[in-house]
């Protein structure tokens, strides 16, 4: 750590010189102990940016469409399996 430069004032009465030196030492102590005033931390995360509601809504709509199509397909397959079916001449 470097040493603070000595305060060299023009010739002044001893009492005045002493008060200048005291003030300067106090100033140097404040400068050395100074803390930064600028906040350099990242801002807190925003909830509406982390949780993408539009994307979740589109995904839910896509899954509901798939579920609906699967139910329709299942009904058609059940209907086909319940029917007696027809025999074609070439399979006999």
Question: pLDDT digit of tens for each residue in the chain (92 aa)?
Answer: 566 666 565 566 666 778 889 999 999 999 999 998 898 899 888 888 888 999 999 999 999 999 999 999 999 999 999 988 776 666 55
* Nearest Cα residue to 72 out of 60, 64, 62: 64
Instruction: List the chain domain ranges.
Output: 51-82
Report pLDDT for 30: 94
Beta strands in 35-76 (DSSP E): none
State the pTM of this model: 0.44
For position 56, what pLDDT does the model report?
94
pLDDT for residue 12: 60
């Amino acid at each position: 750590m470097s040493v603070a430069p000595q305060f060299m004032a023009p010739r002044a009465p001893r009492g005045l010189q002493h008060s200048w030196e005291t003030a300067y030492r106090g100033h140097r102590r404040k400068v050395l102990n100074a803390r930064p005033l600028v906040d350099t931390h990242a801002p807190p995360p925003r909830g509406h940016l982390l949780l993408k509601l539009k994307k979740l809504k589109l995904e839910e709509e896509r899954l509901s469409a798939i579920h609906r199509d699967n139910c329709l397909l299942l009904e058609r397959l059940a209907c086909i399996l319940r029917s007696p079916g027809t025999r074609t001449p070439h399979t006999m």
